[in-house]
């Protein structure tokens, strides 16, 4: 059992930094292009999202205009920053040093208020809209921003990511968030490991069915592309949305890619199980996925 609980998630950042876009892509099946139609968020928009049927994400997307910030840090301070499990702050990558310094100050005031009200909070900083930065400047810009953020956040520990709605990076961030929230993910990973070793599969990954975020995984043979789980999340999510629109069932997919076979089966607790194998005994693997499902049920 994974434990049923309410998880409080706060998403903040300055106006137009991409908060609602991120939330809509991960939790509402938006395509990146659809986010161009989004309007500025007025104060705070709260949404609830049941995750694995065992956690309830309580997501607060906080509008980023300056007047709202003053209100968050004064009138709303006592309630807003209490009992937060996850704090996600978005910085626009293309902002120059002056804008970034303003953003840092704002982030620092919020972080200090949150750490007081929620000492166990997990903090994620996104250097977002990275697609607007020239490819050869991205790595250095990210490292500089990350170093500065880590320094000013001390003693709080933070995790930084470079992201864009135009690639698979947001799936990586949110899968890390999920991983951080699951207290007994190791048990789940051990079962996946036993299965992968026994069946000599390259990789076994459990995805949440609606968001396609990675819940747990075991990699026996590392893929040449280390971003594969995130790319699979994005690809399958888009594919599933098309099947949904056409009312086609998606209980299982089987994809053959040169020497690899990839199985994606509807699994327990609102998940999909993905198995990557080079084995030709595909029927046996399919049968064993069903046995594994029975083991969990
Ligand atoms: P407020 O509600 O005003 O606080 O804004 P927000 O942070 O919720 O921003 P929103 O998600 O509404 O996005 C603002 C604009 O940025 C939209 O036109 C998005 O399409 C665009 N956007 C979001 N993420 C990205 C990204 O990664 N790259 C690029 N190029 N544009 C993005």
Q: How far does residue 263's CA lie from ligand 1's centre (Å)?
A: 35
pLDDT tens sequence across 49-85: 999 878 999 999 999 998 899 899 988 888 899 999 9
Complex confidence, ipTM = 0.98
Q: How far is the CA of 189 from the centre of ligand 1 (A)?
A: 35
Residue nearest to atom 14 of ligand 1 (CA): 16
- Whole-number mean pLDDT of the chain? 89
Query: Which residue shows structure tokens 């599969």?
Result: 201
Nearest atom, ligand 1, residue 165 CA: 27
| Encoded tokens for 292 | 């594994």
Q: Is the dihedral of CA 126, 131, 132, 136 positive or negative?
A: positive
Residue 83 pLDDT: 94
Q: Are 71 and 107 in contact (CB under 8 A)?
A: no
Residue 40 CA to ligand 1 center (angstroms) comes to 9
Distance (Å, rounded) from C-alpha 147 to C-alpha 27? 30
pLDDT at residue 3 tops 60: no
How many whole angstroms separate alpha carbon 271 and alpha carbon 69? 37
Distance from C-alpha of 20 to C-alpha of 22, rounded to nearest angstrom: 5
Nearest to 161 by CA among 178, 179, 149: 149
The pLDDT score that the predictor gives to residue 280 is: 65
| Residues within a 6 A CB radius of ligand 1 | 13, 15-21, 35-36, 38, 40-41, 63-64, 128-129, 131-132, 164-166
Q: Specify whether the CB–CB gap between 124 and 177 falls below 8 A.
A: yes
Residue 18 Cα, ligand 1 centroid: separation in angstroms? Answer: 3
Segment 258-279 mean pLDDT: 83
Q: How far is the CA of 37 from the centre of ligand 1 (A)?
A: 10
In whole angstroms, what is the distance from residue 34 CA to residue 103 CA?
27
pTM for the model: 0.90
- pLDDT at residue 104, as a whole number: 95
pLDDT at 259: 74
Q: Does pLDDT of 261 surpass 90?
A: no
Which residue puts its alpha carbon closest to atom 21 of ligand 1?
A: 18
- Distance between CA atoms of 128 and 142, rounded to whole angstroms? 10
Which range has the worst mean pLDDT, 19-28, 29-38, 197-206, 285-294?
285-294
Residue 1 has pLDDT above 70, yes or no: no
Give residue-wise pLDDT tens across range 201-220: 888 999 998 898 999 999 99
């Amino acid at each position: 059992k994974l434990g049923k609980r309410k998880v409080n998630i706060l998403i903040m950042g300055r106006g137009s930094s991409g908060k609602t876009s991120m939330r809509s892509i991960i939790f509402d099946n938006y395509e990146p292009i659809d986010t161009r139609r989004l309007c500025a968020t007025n104060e705070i928009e709260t949404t609830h999202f049941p995750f694995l049927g065992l956690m309830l994400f309580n997501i607060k997307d906080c509008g980023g205009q300056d007047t709202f910030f003053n209100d968050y840090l004064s009138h709303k301070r006592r309630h807003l920053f209490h009992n937060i499990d996850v704090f996600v702050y978005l910085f626009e990558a293309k902002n120059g040093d002056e804008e970034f310094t303003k953003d840092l100050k704002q982030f620092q005031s919020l972080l200090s208020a949150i750490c007081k009200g929620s000492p166990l909070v997990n903090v994620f900083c996104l250097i977002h809209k990275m697609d607007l930065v020239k490819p050869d400047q991205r790595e250095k810009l990210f490292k500089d921003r990350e170093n500065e953020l880590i320094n000013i956040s001390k003693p709080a520990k933070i995790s930084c990511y470079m992201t864009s709605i135009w690639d698979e990076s947001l799936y990586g961030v949110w899968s890390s968030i999920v991983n951080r929230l699951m207290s007994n993910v190791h048990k789940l990973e051990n079962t996946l490991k036993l299965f992968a070793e026994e069946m000599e599969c390259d990789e076994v990954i459990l995805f949440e069915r609606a968001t396609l975020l990675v819940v747990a995984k075991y990699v026996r043979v590392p893929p040449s592309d280390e971003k594969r789980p995130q790319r699979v999340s994005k690809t399958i999510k888009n594919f599933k949305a098309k099947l949904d629109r056409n009312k086609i069932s998606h209980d299982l997919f089987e994809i053959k890619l040169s020497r690899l076979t990839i199985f994606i089966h509807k699994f327990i607790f609102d998940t999909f199980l993905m198995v990557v194998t080079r084995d030709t005994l595909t029927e046996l693997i399919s049968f064993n996925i069903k046995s594994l499902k029975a083991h969990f049920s």
